[in-house]
Structure 1
């Protein structure tokens, strides 16, 4: 009997338990779709460098958008307004201070979306800065937030299963779940090597940060213009009682190392202290209370996120390599299935997560005939 014939334990299998997979699962569950999540790394694996979600700065501060990405950002921003009331230790409204060391001023496309936007006076700027703006937006606590999403999903019966699959085809016939006709591919960097996907446009963007403790610093501060390519300078306070902040950073494409570079760590600390001496109580960058040095690999894609429905057949993309598939998958080669791809968001995972979740859920509804 075909593995796609019996009734399975889920309508949809989501590959990936990072912020994208969890956000999509949350929206599908609200719509009454039976979901199972399968991932190598689970939300509680907050020390794993194999996925990016625990290491993010996680603030709502979008990049230059297309029309589609702007709408995802705005949708997520509006949703954060309610969540900041429900879970203030995980998402909170935060003062932002953004500076430029160039003559060109900071000019943000979302200035009419955030709260309290205004230019800064020269007297309000740190030494060396030529312009700046301030506004109010949101910051998140990434490890706690993905844990919160996972807890809510498990509470309504969504299984989150630790398993490693080598091919997209395996996800349709997992022995622990039974058959499904639709998979959501939210594997991030895994989409570069996942058999049957193997998207060569997917690449890592290496981000190095320092987690510190400074309870009196609660503003999100960044230099937005004038830094050398590959460098970033930001201070992002994490909500919650611990007084933690993330200092960054780097934006290095196609670098895979997850070991912190000492000279980069020192540069991050020095720059952060220059724009916010309160980090070290005014006593020098060496006085900053360091908790850890970190590296995360942002799952980026040339051309931007792939968010689309693909109707395919079991074995598609595996021509000449079908012998690599497990025996129970080989039995159903050629059967019609679907996949919703949702990967390649790069550094924008949290700030677009709810918008992406809604769009991906719409694609699922379309395939299942629910739209």
Structure 2
């Protein structure tokens, strides 16, 4: 039988939600450990979604709970922009369209800075109208490294390990009573979870160098073809790079860049912002390409699953011997299925996860007294 763990909880998964939640729990005084197939430094792993995000704060929250998460994260990015601008930068945003999809009056207009409609003369000539405001663009690899560094400095182990079932995580560091399931797409095939609502949304982008482009652009037209997106996101701390996108293709598992998609991304981005081609460029072919990227957003029908599930570990021939000991009651905090909102909701999700975990552990401790 495994010895009792020195940790209060084990986090399964080291993407943005796993790391942010681990950081929140550690800051609350809990002792946590992390196990993951992909580690924060695995920036080239095609199966690891977090390094491939755009990313910026541009909320599409549809209810009060989602808005709270995004607003908390906005405040965190504002803090980063002041103290560590390579992680997040306050950036002008320009959203444009032919047919408004609701962005002329978004819920967050009083959260971001200086929201206003664009004058006709300010709208890129390929479009009819738009809005301008200031929000934050972020550098995903740097945020992952920052959080991992904070956690390791606090004594949190981040260990590469692949598990087949959720129950294995309860004995990975000795017996714990709570595991945070932040496995993203892995929640679909993880024994004991096997959530059929989980699916990938394929995103393809181009990383380009364009130091002269300091504005984040997005086409928010209701007439965009299904699965297509058009955006330009300057990336802080990246030597003048921008992310050009993109695609939103549900149930597409391919992680190979497609040439025709890359060309469409470059052509559309150039229409919005010819400055991408540099001071002497004359077409989209003059954009300086750094890399072609593909990531699979870990989405879920119905959105994020963030809830405590109480369960019992029982003897099972599929489990390693150490995990198939005496039956015992445990709990899982499920924290997956965020889709494309991972970064803009991350610290708000972590705050909510902390509240659920500390509430559960306090209740469990009281029950033992």
Common topology (TM > 0.5): yes
Deviations 1:110-164 (A, max 9, x none): 1111001000011111122111000000010001110111011101100000000
Hey, what does 2:362 align to over in structure 1? 369
Does structure 2 conserve the Cα–Cα contact (< 8 Å) formed by 1:105 and 1:132? no
Q: What is the 5 A alignment of 1:180-191?
A: 180-191=176-187
- Output the CA distance in 2 between the equivalents of 1:348 and 1:263: 26
Query: Is 1:328 matched up with 2:322?
Result: yes
Hey, what does 2:293 align to over in structure 1? 294
Query: Is 1:205 matched up with 2:201?
Result: yes
Does structure 1 conserve the Cα–Cα contact (< 8 Å) formed by 2:219 and 2:229? yes
- Output the CA distance in 2 between the equivalents of 1:212 and 1:132: 25
Query: Is 1:267 matched up with 2:264?
Result: yes
- Output the CA distance in 2 between the equivalents of 1:154 and 1:272: 39
Which of 230, 233, 237 does residue 234 from structure 2 map onto? Answer: 237
Which of 202, 205, 216 does residue 212 from structure 2 map onto? Answer: 216
Deviations 1:16-47 (A, max 9, x none): 00000000011011011001010000000001
TM-score under structure 1 length normalisation: 0.94
Does structure 2 conserve the Cα–Cα contact (< 8 Å) formed by 1:105 and 1:131? no
Hey, what does 1:314 align to over in structure 2? 313
Hey, what does 1:246 align to over in structure 2? 243
Does structure 2 conserve the Cα–Cα contact (< 8 Å) formed by 1:311 and 1:336? yes
Hey, what does 2:72 align to over in structure 1? 75
TM-score under structure 2 length normalisation: 0.95
Does structure 2 conserve the Cα–Cα contact (< 8 Å) formed by 1:100 and 1:106? no
Deviations 1:147-194 (A, max 9, x none): 1110111011000000000000000011xx211110000000000000
Q: What is the 5 A alignment of 1:90-129?
A: 90-102=87-99, 106-107=103-104, 108-129=106-127
Does structure 1 conserve the Cα–Cα contact (< 8 Å) formed by 2:61 and 2:70? no
- Output the CA distance in 2 between the equivalents of 1:309 and 1:353: 18
- Output the CA distance in 2 between the equivalents of 1:183 and 1:342: 10
Hey, what does 1:156 align to over in structure 2? 154
Q: What is the 5 A alignment of 1:318-357?
A: 322-332=316-326, 334-357=327-350
Structure 1: give runs of 5+ residues left out of the alignment: none
- Output the CA distance in 2 between the equivalents of 1:307 and 1:253: 22
- Output the CA distance in 2 between the equivalents of 1:370 and 1:270: 56
Q: Summarize the Cα distance change of 1:339–1:124 in structure 2 as closer, same or farther, 3 Å threshold.
A: same
Which of 27, 33, 41 does residue 44 from structure 1 map onto? Answer: 41
Hey, what does 2:367 align to over in structure 1? none
Q: Summarize the Cα distance change of 1:103–1:148 in structure 2 as closer, same or farther, 3 Å threshold.
A: closer
Let me know the Cα RMSD of the aligned residues: 1.4
- Runs of 4+ in structure 1 displaced over 6 angstroms? none
Query: Is 1:23 matched up with 2:20?
Result: yes
- Output the CA distance in 2 between the equivalents of 1:105 and 1:179: 50
1:104 shift after superposition? 6.2
Segment drifting more, 361-370 vs 41-50:
361-370
- Output the CA distance in 2 between the equivalents of 1:330 and 1:81: 46
- Output the CA distance in 2 between the equivalents of 1:66 and 1:205: 22
Which of 2, 6, 11 does residue 8 from structure 2 map onto? Answer: 11
Segment drifting more, 70-79 vs 259-268:
70-79
Does structure 1 conserve the Cα–Cα contact (< 8 Å) formed by 2:86 and 2:236? yes
Structure 2: give runs of 5+ residues left out of the alignment: 365-369
Does structure 1 conserve the Cα–Cα contact (< 8 Å) formed by 2:114 and 2:134? yes
1:370 shift after superposition? 7.0
- Output the CA distance in 2 between the equivalents of 1:341 and 1:324: 22
- Output the CA distance in 2 between the equivalents of 1:204 and 1:101: 29
- Output the CA distance in 2 between the equivalents of 1:241 and 1:70: 29
1:105 shift after superposition? 6.7
Hey, what does 2:163 align to over in structure 1? 165
Hey, what does 1:86 align to over in structure 2? 83
1:357 shift after superposition? 0.2
Does structure 2 conserve the Cα–Cα contact (< 8 Å) formed by 1:52 and 1:298? yes
